[in-house]
Amino acid sequence: MDMTSNGREPPGDGAGNGETVAVDLPSVRRLEAVGFRAWPASSVQYDGSWLIRLTAGHPSKRLNSVNPLDPSDYRDIAIRLEKARRLFAESGRSLTVRQTPLTPPKMIDHMDGEGWTSFAHSLVLALDLAERDFSEGIDHLPIKDVGRFVDARILIGRDPPEAKQALTGIINAIKPECGLFLFEDRKIGPTAVSLVVHDNDLAGIMQFAVAEAVRRRGVGSALLDASLRWARLKGAKKAWLQVEADNGAAIELYRKAGFTEVYRYLYRTPKV
């Protein structure tokens, strides 16, 4: 992906390394689109080019946020945000805007002026799979049992058991082909999981998690390698993923694998 065009970045360094990354808006638009398909919300509405996603039963911010998709769509900002606030309130949620390089600068200025808070700064990273050498890797086949995968993901992530139904529903709603990867140890059970969504020439690495007991033992690298190998065998040319900016260990793993930053995003909510 070309990253030479300019675009307005969310505030904060995000990358954790002080670097500034030029943003190519066409690349952002494409990754945003495949990201929505890779992690589908149960309710999707449009207000102009603002994509409003809501999902009952699951707390994922990506599934419960307003996503502006056109920097030039800034008409009636206050009125539309109030309309979205009421919609979120009907679902028992607080209004949340996902601010990306596609967010209109005038909308950012409005939120700044109203004292909106920001949180969960994240990076979107990408890797050219043609540049990866998989000759010495070990083939790991994805599993077919969604329930088994979800149980492992909840255990490793220490999520509440009641999240199982919603997470199962989300995974079953993914339309592109998925690879569910699960690593297990006979003594301690599930050790790592990864959900790979193959969408044409792109592959998204989702739900990547490694059990605390086996971290920094090469398990994460092996899981990532298995996920990327499967993606390339399926025909993907590039892999992408999203990671929170304060997850230093994960960012280190991905950068060592060759991933580079494409853009950043964060979430914003009105002041209480």
Amino acid at 91: S
Residue 190's pLDDT is: 96
Q: At residue 119, what are phi and psi to the nearest 5 degrees? A: -160, 170
DSSP state of 143: B
Q: Sketch the domain layout of the chain as residue ranges.
A: 25-124, 131-236
Q: Which two tokens stand for residue 112?
A: 């700044």
262 pLDDT exceeds 70? yes
Residue 17's pLDDT is: 44
To the question of domain 131-236 being in CATH 3.40.630.30, the answer is: yes
Rounded mean pLDDT of 187-194? Answer: 94
How confident is residue 19, by pLDDT bands cut at 50, 70 and 90? Answer: low
Q: String of b and e for 215-245 (b: at least 16 CB within 10 Å)?
A: eeeebbebbbbbbbbbbbeeebebbbbbbeb
Residue 162's pLDDT is: 86
How confident is residue 5, by pLDDT bands cut at 50, 70 and 90? Answer: very low
Average pLDDT, the chain: 91
Within the chain, residue ranges assigned H as helices are: 25-38, 77-90, 105-113, 146-157, 163-173, 219-233, 248-256
Q: Which two tokens stand for residue 244?
A: 């929170």
81 pLDDT exceeds 70? yes
Share of the chain above pLDDT 90, in %: 82
Strand order in the sheet with 177-185: 43-47, 50-54, 65-68, 97-99, 260-269, 117-128, 238-244, 202-210, 189-199, 177-185
Rounded mean pLDDT of 118-146? Answer: 88
Residue 135's pLDDT is: 66
69 pLDDT exceeds 50? yes
183 pLDDT exceeds 60? yes
How confident is residue 20, by pLDDT bands cut at 50, 70 and 90? Answer: low
pLDDT single digits (tens) 44-63: 999 999 999 999 888 899 99
271 pLDDT exceeds 60? yes
Rounded mean pLDDT of 249-260? Answer: 96
Rounded mean pLDDT of 38-46? Answer: 97
